[in-house]
């Protein structure tokens, strides 16, 4: 597979790893995923208020879980922000 295809598979694998092979991430799963896998791009989530805000922002359908579509929106936002930063370097 190409580097891009491998990266896509890694994103899918990370979702399943932290959702424990269920179809959604719960709040604590999201916190663990961000803090363990995105620590260079997103500041660690340490307090409940920040976690609640991030979770609410991502939970578009309000079912109190993060499905893959909602997760991929986070990946897209972080990727876009990272791209913008690399353009200024």
Positions touching Ca ion (CB under 5 A) are 59, 61, 63
DSSP H helices in 19-88: 27-37, 48-58, 68-88
Q: Give 29 or 59: the residue with its C-beta nearer to Ca ion.
A: 59
Indicate the angle between helix axes 48-58 and 27-37, nearest 10 degrees. Answer: 100
Least CB distance to Ca ion at residue 46 (A): 23
Q: Give 46 or 60: the residue with its C-beta nearer to Ca ion.
A: 60
Q: Give 22 or 85: the residue with its C-beta nearer to Ca ion.
A: 22
State residue 26 phi and psi, 5-degree precision: -90, 175
């Amino acid at each position: 597979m190409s580097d891009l295809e491998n990266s896509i598979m890694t994103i899918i694998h990370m979702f399943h790893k932290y959702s424990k092979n269920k179809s959604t991430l719960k709040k604590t799963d999201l916190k663990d995923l961000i803090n363990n896998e995105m620590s260079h791009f997103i500041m660690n989530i340490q307090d409940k208020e920040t976690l609640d805000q991030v979770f609410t922002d991502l939970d578009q359908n309000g079912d109190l879980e993060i499905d893959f579509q909602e997760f991929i929106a986070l990946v897209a936002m972080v990727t876009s922000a990272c791209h913008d930063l690399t353009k200024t370097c």
